[in-house]
Structure 1
Amino acid sequence: MERYLRRHGRDIWKYVEEGPHISVLTPVQTLGATARLAGGEPALNRPTKDDLDKMENDAISFYEISCGVAPDNFDIIINCKSAKEIWDVLKNLYEGIEQAQDKKLTPALNEFNNFKAHAGESLEDSFKRFNLIVTKLSNVGTI
């Protein structure tokens, strides 16, 4: 995903890792007084070009990651407000899956490494046991 997003611009991935850019708008000062809108609230400076560029990069990273999510996982990220939030949710989801696979992988690898035919066991029975081990390894994605 990182490589994919970097092709849109070198800073795009930064917003996934660090979070969205938040523009800091300050009240407009005029002749020693704060300018006010008709409702009595202080008028704010407009975002700078740099702020706008950063907000656009935020939007690009959010859009691209959202579009890359499988439809069956979309409801998991639907309420996320930033690309970083989506990435954190997906990372936790898939790292959890990897940890569960690791717990299955170790015993299957041990079985594979320690496989021996039992005394008096037919070749056919040994082959069936071996195939079961290979199937376990295949199910956890090692083959």
Structure 2
Amino acid sequence: MLGLEDHGSLIWESITQQMFAQTTTRKVIKTQAEYNVLLIEQMDIPQDEKEKLMSNVKAMRIIRFALPPDTFRLVSSCETAKDIWDRLKELYSSDTNLEHSVQTLFLSEFGAFSQKPNEKLDQNFNRFNHLLSRMLKNKIKRET
């Protein structure tokens, strides 16, 4: 992360420590569109603050593009890079309660697995194999 951008340390800081808020409005910038609107409304934003405000937007892009689709769905409701990071830490921690929750989730998904309406057989097969591979990766076996 630190080497990806010119301001990698700001991006990393927005992920792990805090989000930067605009000094006069205290608004946190979450999207490129919000950043553009802010630039129009506030003409006198110092360059260093602009870089800090964009760090959350860039961090969210980097994280989201790095995640596989099934993991992305788990964090897609998060509004900031820090929120995504905290959720990922929660998902991938080795807490035994979390492991039990993950096992329950996979076994529930396995038990309820069925072909979706308008889903082709090869799509269903690929989705089922993906579920099985995630279960194997997490060392989950269905007891018979």
Question: TM-score scaled by structure 1?
Answer: 0.49
Structure (1 or 2) with the larger CA radius of gyration: 1
